[in-house]
Structure 1
Amino acid sequence: MSHLFDNADPQPAGYRDVDAHPLAAERPAGLALVDVREPAELDGILGHIEGVRPVPLAHVKSSAALWPREQEVVLICRSGARSGKAAAQLVELGFTRVMNLRGGMLAWNTASLPVVRLSSNTLPTLTDVRDVLARALHGLVPSDAVPLPAEPSREALTRVLDGLQRSPPPGVSQPAELERVLREVRDLLAVAKPGNGGR
């Protein structure tokens, strides 16, 4: 067995959280990478890790019935929430070396680790992400409610997204639409390149 599981952070549900860099550095033979997102998500902007086994969350328990209980398994999703649920399910089924990718594909992309993407579209810059956010917020929130950084950094844009998620500005016309926008912009931010795209 590998040191990956031994060095991962234990969670109350019995699985362990592993960070993106250690997982990328140590991919031991026999390690199962299981992506619990829906099939369309694997081909989205966040892409997927090479060699993953796609098993949507709703099918994890039935698929796992055929897996060896002592196998090391890393569960992956967009942000780590669904894969945490799947990890807890595997522990309940008697799996002993279960890990969850902390932060999911958002963290993997933010760390600039290798990703398989079907789309050959050029990845956005941080300036592009700021501009997408500004256009998306137009009409959803009062125009002066969200100050966007003139020179965007990943950290500054993350602070804006976190602030909007924690407490949307008064006067938000469509809360569900704002939540969808924040999710999409967070995905773009995870894959964005530094720079302004030559503007």
Structure 2
Amino acid sequence: MHPLFDNATPHPAGYRDVDVGQLAAFPPPSQLTRVDVREAAELDGILGHLPGIRHAPLATVQDVVDAWPRDTDVVLVCRSGARSARAAMSLVTLGFTRVMNLRGGMLAWNTARLPVVRTVPHPLPTLGTVRDGLLDGLHRALAPPPHEGPTVPPLTNPSREALTAVLDALQAARPTGVRDTAAFEHLLRTFQDLLAVARAEGER
């Protein structure tokens, strides 16, 4: 029995939520089974993956864990915490009693500057690069009104908080004039990932 479960936040669906700081306090090896439910290509993406994870894409996770003891301490991980929450509910229905979901997923883990395994090298952007790329992407994604340029949020300050607020606002309320909804959602997802790993100017 691992103490992380006892200190995790109970969820109505029967599993418990853990914050990245709580999980980081127990680096591998420890008696925790960390299961990443993202697709294989995502493990090699810019967000990387946690040290010591087992990989079981969401569609296969029930088969992968079927033979495990039902009192295994399992922490489920994905990009943002949504897919891992679904996996956690699946394990609870299978009778697992010590299931945890990493709140915020790899986005939160990277934002907290915790250790990440990147098997494929990725140059990490600066906050200024993220701002400039986001503004350029928005200009291309939004159809301009007649005789005007496209309306994009004012974003002169490339701070993490300002960029996060803009991305959250765009996610909550898609602006009018989006040419391609799927492409716009991909744009937001891409820049959420980039923001999670971005460094301030001069930061290593």
State the partner residue of 1:33: 34
Gaps of 5+ in 1: none
> Is it true that 1:13 corresponds to 2:13 in the alignment?
yes
Cα distance in 1 for partners of 2:99, 2:121 equals 33
8 Å CA contact 1:127–1:196 kept in 2: the answer is no
How big is the shift at 1:151? 2.5
SS in 2 for 1:34: strand
Report matched runs for 1:1-199 at 5 Å: 1-27=1-27, 29-141=30-142, 142=144, 143-195=149-201
How big is the shift at 1:144? 4.3
Q: What is the CA deviation profile of residues 125-172 of structure 1, one whole-angstrom value per residue up to 9, with x for unaligned ones?
A: 100111111121122114442224222111100111111111122111
SS in 1 for 2:195: helix
Cα distance in 2 for partners of 1:29, 1:173 equals 48
**After TM superposition, where is structure 1 displaced by more than 6 Å over at least 4 residues in a row?**
none
Give the TM-score, by structure 1 length: 0.94
Cα distance in 2 for partners of 1:99, 1:43 equals 23
SS in 2 for 1:136: helix
Q: What is the CA deviation profile of residues 91-135 of structure 1, one whole-angstrom value per residue up to 9, with x for unaligned ones?
A: 111111100000100000000000001232321010011111112
Q: What is the CA deviation profile of residues 5-37 of structure 1, one whole-angstrom value per residue up to 9, with x for unaligned ones?
A: 111111111000000011001247321000000
Kindly report the root-mean-square deviation, in angstroms, between the aligned alpha carbons of the 2 structures: 1.5
Cα distance in 2 for partners of 1:5, 1:148 equals 43
8 Å CA contact 2:134–2:191 kept in 1: the answer is yes
In the superposition, relative to structure 1, how do residues 46 and 5 fare at CA in structure 2: closer, same or farther (>3 Å)?
same
* 1:156 aligned partner, one-letter code: A
Cα distance in 2 for partners of 1:109, 1:29 equals 21
* 1:54 aligned partner, one-letter code: H
Cα distance in 2 for partners of 1:118, 1:135 equals 29
* 2:7 aligned partner, one-letter code: N
Gaps of 5+ in 2: none
Cα distance in 2 for partners of 1:66, 1:57 equals 17
8 Å CA contact 1:126–1:152 kept in 2: the answer is yes
